[in-house]
Structure 1
Amino acid sequence: MQLVDYSHSVLSVVPAFLALALAVITRRVLLSLGIGVIVGVLLLTGGNPLDGLTHLKNLAVSLTWADGAWALDKPKILLFLLLLGIFTSLLTFSGSNQAFADWAKRHIKNRRGAKLLTACLVFVTFIDDYFHSLAVGAIARPVTDKFKVSRAKLAYILDSTAAPMCVLMPVSSWGASIIATIAGLLVTYNITGYTPIGAFVSMSLMNYYALFALIMVFVVAYFSFDIGSMARLERAALKENHVAHENADGKTGRVYALIIPVAVLIASTLASMMYTGAQALETFSILGAFENTDVNTSLVFGGVCGILAVLLCTFGKIDTADYPRAVWVGMKSMFGAITILILAWLISSVVSDMKTGEYLSTLVAGNINPGFLPLILFLLGSVMAFATGTSWGTFGIMLPIAAAMAVKIDPSLIIPCMSAVMAGAVCGDHCSPISDTTILSSTGAQCNHIDHVTTQLPYALTVAAASAVGFLTLGFTQSALLGFAVTGVSLAVLILLLRNKQTA
């Protein structure tokens, strides 16, 4: 079956933007994604319904089978979601979540402390964005619920610390992959002034969006800077009581019964990432292990170990007859996220077939003043990640394009241009309702997905606007420090303007 080529047509963006627009307008994510997928396959098959059904079947099969072999990465993520749901449910049924929340209330004195605790946990769980969003959500949710922090605020903190920290850290699943890509580009274009790790560090220092998205989280947490619908949901949260609902059985748990399983979950996942990565190396190195690691297998292994630790630590705290109910409640809590994730993967495949990324990348062709190049690549990377829902896909498409353009126009801009792509990819990922990380942050916080998207968007756009000014400065001055300073000043001005508008 021959698919229609839309690589040079504006129609290539229709399925993605239709799904995004419908999701925001109707707030019905499953329906919106489903319509996007159907419209996409019909466009790809020239409007033939039978061919469309065949292609849709092929896309569904490709989630588990590709190139004549099982492709289990995506099923492993779904399995990890189920395992984490069971993990969290067992902690709830045993009273461990409530015990931790009670302990936190004695030691954390207010809502500010609860939010700052959640934000600071990223310095422990930065190894992978999926892992961070789900694991920290499970740890922090009882505490933020206790202090009546909205689930939307929790989801924002999870999402806006996950990808930014992972993209900045060389020892993470993101960092290792990006370093490997950079190494190939440096060889291709004979750039000898940087080592791959040196180039990555330089790019991280110029990744203004990721750096200031992290700073923004701490500003929001400390000063309760609530804008747009976040302010409304925060006010509503003060009248709610999630904890009473979660711990309906009223069991008395122990704090250690939460801390030990979470520590086991983190440690076993990290150990498995190191082990699976080391299998591909002749000489072991930490960075090499992270570059070659099997993240999804490691998450499943960590999830199994975490559940075993919960069972050992809560033995006797859950009635034998309640175990099946706890398992079912935990699995059921993840069904919505799993359905959204599967549809997001399908529309991502449609977007790939429509060649949306290739079309968007052609928009930068033509005569460009070198000083505008980082800004243009930041904006294009943001649009591409927003439309496709993937930072990694944007990296894969845009980093080679950015390197090629910089080498052709001004070789000294190669690092600023690649850093702009990384920043744009994270920015678009934050704003996109079909992004894996956005979906999993909603899941980790147990927050309505569209509530998370609409409340995070004003913060993301504020940081993006400041970053755009920074990348413009970087392009014309080639000073990373000056670009950083300009971004910081711009963000401070925007925050003051928005805060004054809220209090007016």
Structure 2
Amino acid sequence: MVSYGVLSIIPILIAVFLSIKTKNVVLSLFSSVFCGIFILNGYNPLETTKVLVGKYFINQLTDSYNAGVIVLMIFIGGFIELMMMSGGAYAFAESFKNSINSKTKAQLLAYFTGIMIFFSDLGTPLIVGPIFSPFFKRLKLSKEKLAFILDSTSSPVAVLVPFIGWGVFIIGLLQKEFELLNLSLSDYESFIKSIPFNVYPILALTIIPALTLLKLDFGPMKTFENNPIDESAFEIDNSKYQVENAKGSFVWVPILVLLGTLFSMLGTSFITSRVSGSAFRAALTSGYLYAALVLMGLMLFYKSKTFKEIFSIYLNGMKKMSEIVIILILAWSLGVINKDLGADQFLIGFLKTLDINSGFIPAIAFIFGAVISFSTGSSWGTYSIMVPLVIPMAVTFNAPLYVTIGAILSGGLFGDHVSPISDTTILSSAGAGCDHINHVKTQTPYAVVNAILAISVFLIGGFTQNSSLILFAIISQIAILIGIKIFTKNRFYKGDEQCSTFQEDLKKQQVN
């Protein structure tokens, strides 16, 4: 095998540099792949183009595993778009509004509703935000707090679920690396086993109820909570998610069908045990197909949309997955090119000269992932770069694999969570109707607390591989929040007095 030395890492550097500079993941990955093949083929541009299409792109498309992932992603795209445009999610969230008569209830209901709409990270802020915004305003809760809740229940939920777009995307990246490294590991099982070490998103989810029940806020958020600002000029139009005759059952019935299909085809063991990739993809694709068909049937039965409209929405959702499919193909190709150039061996040799203990690899992966995702505003783009780069290093140095996977996912999510150019951060601001920079400022202190705890877990977990460290992190998070409350003598929420319901307020207005 030809050794390309320092040239082997040029494609990786190009991918990182262009991602940060252009904020365009597709352009960055394509340039990286083209450069790698350019080096491999004697710097001949015509030959490079021929090999790029004939050897790499076509090989990735014709690979049975890759083809299965692409088909699955397309079915997921159709289902998500249908679910979003059915109006079911809006109707589902609306059904809770009679219960919103206190600050604590408003925050917790917004939190749990965001989690329920787990199938789409971008759907949470666009649907949940406009529904709860009037209640937050009436209860004198800031829109910055609502934006924080929306942002914390979108991507942090999605990255933990193996059977939606995020999980399928990540599992696909892992499978390609395992294949290139000749590892007889299950990509699905590896994802499941990495969840206890996917620390940052778990902490992002636990901090919301902890803050709410402790009646605590600190940093810029405390200022906005004490002096809520009316920022109605930033509000968005969510009328397209309000559909006549839509029912809350449009959400939970299709999801039950999806889960029922998985259990019937794979049994209960698929949740924690090893499942073959082909069986998992077949069951998941079938589940999304049946769920979509049931949702279509419900929409027709309740006459919320015509068949022509329903079918058009479904096809449009499939089309929207084209960019994700392109990113996957480019990421798979980059992994093969890195292997052909010997980039992993060059980096491994370099790290050996530094004499870095393998236990530090997860923490290093978290930090690098956070920097890339913060700069690019993209978790998926970060995973596309980091997985092919870090997994070979972890295997060679015998670093804890599941901890490392969790660190890659956590780092990519943390950087995205605090990045002002992240799509979910921008949509969370818009969904809550607050100024975008104010959202970034108020959310960052909480995110930094979680990131520090995550790094602590990766430093310890890199040497112990103890999955119970997540409990340590959650307990530490609560202890820190209690400490902040005691130290600052936080008096926020002067009581959590019950307020009249929204409907009662309307009746009073009508009488007056």
TM-score range, shorter chain: 0.5 to 0.7
Q: CA distance change for structure 1 residues 392 and 461 in 2, over 3 Å: closer, same or farther?
A: farther
Rate the CA distance shift 1:240–1:48 in 2: closer, same or farther, 3 A. same
Q: Which runs of 5+ in 1 are unaligned?
A: 123-131, 189-196, 279-283, 407-413
Shift of residue 466 of structure 1?
Answer: 2.9
Determine if contact 1:86/1:330 at 8 Å carries over to the other structure: yes
Root mean square deviation, CA, Å:
5.6
> Runs of 5+ in structure 2 lacking a partner?
134-142, 374-379, 489-512
Deviations, residues 355-387 of structure 1 (Å, cap 9, x unaligned): 5555554453236475xx433432136536958
- Correspondent of 1:308 among 293, 297, 318: 293
Looking at structure 2, the residues matched to 359 and 111 of structure 1 have their Cα atoms a distance apart, in angstroms, of 53
1:428, distance to aligned residue in structure 2 (A)? 3.3
In the alignment, does 2:78 pair up with 1:79? Answer: no
2:308 aligned residue: 324
**In 2, Cα distance between the equivalents of 1:54 and 1:495?**
61
Q: What secondary structure is seen at the aligned counterpart in 2 of 1:64? A: helix
Q: Give me the whole-angstrom Cα distance separating, in 1, the residues matched to 2:219 and 2:59.
A: 41
How big is each residue's C-alpha offset from its partner over 1:469-496, in whole Å with a ceiling of 9 and x where there is no partner? 3444567899988997589658976999
Amino acid at match of 1:42: C
How far apart are 1:78 and its partner, in Å? 1.9
Residue 495 to residue 16, structure 1, CA distance change in 2 (3 Å):
farther
Cα 1:489–1:83, aligned 2, differ >3 Å: closer, same or farther? closer
Q: Which residue of 2 aligns with 1:16?
A: 15
**2:109 & 2:276 partners in 1: Cα distance?**
34
CA contact (8 A) 1:98 1:142 kept: yes
Q: Please say if residues 384 and 428 of structure 1, whose CA atoms lie closer than 8 Å, have aligned partners that are also in contact.
A: yes
For residue 283 of structure 2, what is the aligned residue in structure 1? 298
Q: Does the alignment pair 1:246 with 2:241?
A: yes
* Cα deviation digits, residues 75-130 of structure 1 (max 9, x gap): 321232123323433x23xxx444323212223555413332146549xxxxxxxx
Contact 2:125 2:154 in 1 (8 A): no
In structure 2, the CA distance between the partners of 1:218 and 1:357, relative to structure 1 (3 Å rule), is: farther
Alignment check: 8 A CA contact 2:391 2:401 kept: yes
CA, structure 1 residues 342+49, in 2 after alignment: closer, same or farther (shift >3 Å)? farther
Question: Of the candidates 35, 45, 49, which is equivalent to residue 45 of structure 2?
Answer: 49
Residue in structure 1 matching 2:359, options 374, 379, 387: 374
Rounded to whole Å, the distance in 2 between the matches of 1:55 and 1:488 is: 53
Aligned to 1:99: 91
Q: When the two structures are aligned, how many residues end up with a matched partner?
A: 429
SS in structure 2 at match of 1:267: helix
Equivalence for 1:147: 132
CA distance in 2, matches of 1:161, 1:378: 22
Paired with 1:285 and 1:35, the residues of 2 have a C-alpha distance of 36
Instruction: Give distance in 1, aligned partners of 2:422 and 2:314.
Output: 17
Cα offsets for 1:221-257 (capped at 9, x unmatched): 777979899x9xx98689525442322xx51333334
Q: Output the amino acid matched with 2:108.
A: G
Find the counterpart in structure 2 of residue 424 from structure 1: 407
Instruction: Judge conservation of contact 2:83–2:250 (CA < 8 Å) in 1.
Output: no
1:158 aligns with one of 154, 160, 171: 154
Instruction: For 1:123-142, list aligned pairs within 5 A.
Output: 132-134=118-120, 142=127
**Cα-to-partner distance string for 1:141-186 (whole Å, 9 max, x where unaligned):** 644431137788535423213334669xxxx9999x99xx99xx9x
Question: TM-score scaled to structure 2, two decimals?
Answer: 0.62
Aligned partner of 2:338 in structure 1 is 354
Q: TM-score, normalised by structure 1?
A: 0.62
Residues 1:71 and 1:101: Cα distance change in structure 2 (over 3 Å): closer
Task: Please list the CA deviations of residues 332-365 of structure 1 after superposition, one character each: whole Å capped at 9, or x if unmatched.
Answer: 3564x52431332243135321355555544532
- Alignment correspondent of 2:452: 465
Q: Which has the higher contact order (CA 8 A, sep 6+)?
A: 2
Measured in 1, the distance between the counterparts of 2:451 and 2:445 equals: 10
Q: What is the identity percentage for the equivalent residue pairs of Structure 1 and Structure 2?
A: 13
The amino acid of 1:348's aligned partner reads A
Structure 2 match to 1:340: 323
Describe the SS at the equivalent of 1:365: helix
Q: Secondary structure at the match of 2:300?
A: coil
Q: Which residue of 1 aligns with 2:206?
A: 215
CA contact (8 A) 1:383 1:428 kept: yes
